Homo-oligomer: A and B are copies of this chain.
């Protein structure tokens, strides 16, 4: 049955979408570290008859550099399988004739090389991390407040993520800061935007009920996927907190210790 619960729903799946940070690896100094069992789990999924894509709100590097890092960590992943927000944002800019002021990580800047940034008429905020200085946030604020119709794009809306040395504030926090400062609502590009999930489903050529999303972020991964009609499973790695399992509005279809356990449960349901 297409709509049976987890893990029995795995029988009828045609594809899986994985979040990256907190599911495959924990970010941190250098390349970060792979989460135990996750390299093997990705390998097993690739060898299965399931389609596999990676959907991430990662905005600290270009897609190429980011995938190179994952490959150094030992993951067999290629650029065309990975969907981050920046390329989607660039498509929106072109479509609407917008020129961005960028408050993003230095590592992401090359992604915007071909984009006209003169005389900006919108602001794009990504996970700028250390670049979220008072001065830089002020600068983005002044661009917005100076526009007759201020437009703010946020590459994701995460609250925080886990690095090897602890929890770090994510882009959503600074999105909220600018929303409040300018009394506006940002347009989110990335998870949990339905448009963003749909672009991944389109690439797979699958319907939502045929696909399972696995992530560590209850709201953006699990809730976002469920909102699109997919199943959503949360891993107890990355930014997972026990309180997630008692969330008032979002309930994961399943909660597993880690990706390795999720993949073993999926494949065992499918008789592997």
Contact = CB atoms under 8 A, between A and B. Distances in A.
A6 B166 CA distance: 55
A176 B182 CA distance: 12
A228 interface: no
25 contacts: A128-B134, A131-B134, A132-B133, A132-B137, A133-B134, A137-B173, A138-B169, A141-B169, A141-B173, A142-B166, A142-B167, A145-B160, A145-B167, A159-B183, A169-B177, A169-B181, A172-B180, A172-B181, A173-B177, A173-B180, A174-B177, A176-B176, A176-B177, A176-B179, A176-B180
A160 B181 contact: yes
Describe A's contact surface by its main secondary structure: helix
A177 B182 CA distance: 14
Interface of A: 128-135, 137-138, 141-142, 145, 159-160, 166-169, 172-174, 176-183
Contacts of A179: 176
B133 A168 contact: no
Kindly report how many copies of this chain are found in the complex they form together: 2
A127 to B, nearest CB: 10
A27 to B, nearest CB: 14
Contact of A130 (B130, B134, B169, B176): B134
Nearest to A157: B180
Given A132-B134, A173-B178, 6 more contacts: A130-B135, A132-B133, A133-B133, A133-B134, A137-B169, A138-B169
Given A141-B160, A160-B141, A134 B169 contact: yes
A133 B135 CA distance: 9
B132 A168 contact: no
Contact of A168 (B128, B131, B138, B174): B138
Nearest to A179: B176
A83 to B, nearest CB: 25
A181 B159 contact: yes
Contacts of A177: 169, 173-174, 176-177
Nearest to A134: B132
A141 B161 CA distance: 12
A115 to B, nearest CB: 25
Which 4 pairs from chain A and chain B are nearest by CB? A176-B180, A177-B177, A132-B134, A173-B177
- Give the interface centre of A128, A134, A142 by most chain B CB atoms within 10 Å: A134
